[in-house]
Amino acid sequence: MSRIFITGDAGFIGFHLAKQLLALGHTVAGYDAISAYYSPRLKQSRLDLLCQSSEFSHTTGRLEDARELAGAMRTFQPDIVVHLAAQAGVRYSITNPEEYISSNIVGSATLLDVLREVPPAHLMLASTSSVYGGNVRAPFSELDTTDAPLSLYAATKRSMESLAHSFSHLHQVPTTVFRFFTVYGPWGRPDMALFKFVRAILNDEPIDIYGFGKMRRDFTYVDDLVRAILKLSQAVPAVAAPIGERDSLSKVAPFRIVNIAGGSPTELMTFVSAIEHSLGRIARKNLMPMQPGDVVSTFADTRLLHDLIGELPSTPVPEGVARFVDWYMADGVSTLDVSGVTQGRTH
């Protein structure tokens, strides 16, 4: 069994990953600021569930706090580090750029500096499909250029990727960066479309549908994502050992980038229809133009993921949406203060 350190363990994906690792018998330590970007009560509820395991420990702190972070890392001595903590959200980055620079760039650089002292056997970092930005090729391949970000969020995550590559090269730490594509599911973030749409429809409030409903997203159910991360943790990059011509393995570092997605884009209106079906209600829809920083479509090339782990995320969107709705209705989410996004860090 391994010792895994997760930054952002109180977050949506970090919570699900930690829960699955604990179920498999691993020892997990988490690090999270429990910030007010969205409901701290929701984050604390996730942590409360994780803390039921004797193999889980948590430190509350900010990534930029090198002393706190280093202390937690030295105490735990991890085999694997999974860096999920970040300031998320494309639209929030437009009005609060300093949060993204502090968390995603300064915070990530601080983590890498700390790891010079306690280098893991495998470092894994979360990036985003947003880094593909103005890329006009589809599906998005890990070998495509990512030099045209459309939002500050995307730019900061691409900067994190570059920092991680230089760290991997200088210190020979095997590093995998995974690019997520629109992850959804139970215990998700309240600022994301699924959470907002379900809440609004149940309250008979209109929902805002950007891009006039023509936008397409490569939705990825959270359990599928976690399974992919677990399998990728065993696919440790090695210098000059590519697995084929599609491999994104660096020529100068044990560093690889991998898309994690379903590989099948869904139109936003189809996504809304799945929500309506699960709720048994019809949404009142405001069709609106795209917002700054958004892209029309995301579509992942998942062949490298398949080459590495032999299994692709497969939960159909209607099934994944139904699971979210079941969780929302059964677990009393309406009693939590999850009403919106506020200023503050989410790492």
Residue 316: is it exposed, middle or buried by C-beta count within 10 angstroms (0-12/13-18/19+)?
Answer: middle
- For residue 219, give the nearest of 150, 129, 137, 124 by alpha carbon: 129
Residue found under tokens 């920083």: 293
Task: Give yes or no: 153 in active site.
Answer: yes
Is residue 8 within 8 Å of residue 302, measured between CB atoms? no
**CB-based burial, 51-87: b 16+ in 10 Å, e otherwise:** eeeeebbbbebbbbebebbbebbeebebbbbbbbbbb
- For residue 91, give the nearest of 151, 48, 139, 41 by alpha carbon: 151
Alpha-helical (H) ranges within the chain are: 12-23, 40-50, 66-76, 90-95, 97-100, 108-115, 152-171, 193-202, 222-232, 268-279, 303-309, 317-330
* DSSP summary character for residue 116: T
- The first and second tokens of residue 150, run together, are 């459309």
Is residue 147 within 8 Å of residue 132, measured between CB atoms? no
Catalytic-labelled residue, pool 153, 184, 221, 328: 153
Please tell me the distance from the alpha carbon of residue 127 to that of residue 313, in angstroms, as a whole number: 17
Residue found under tokens 């735990």: 76
Is residue 8 within 8 Å of residue 86, measured between CB atoms? yes
- Per residue, the 3-state secondary structure of 194-208, as one string, reads HHHHHHHHHCCCCEE
Annotated catalytic sites, by residue?
A: 153
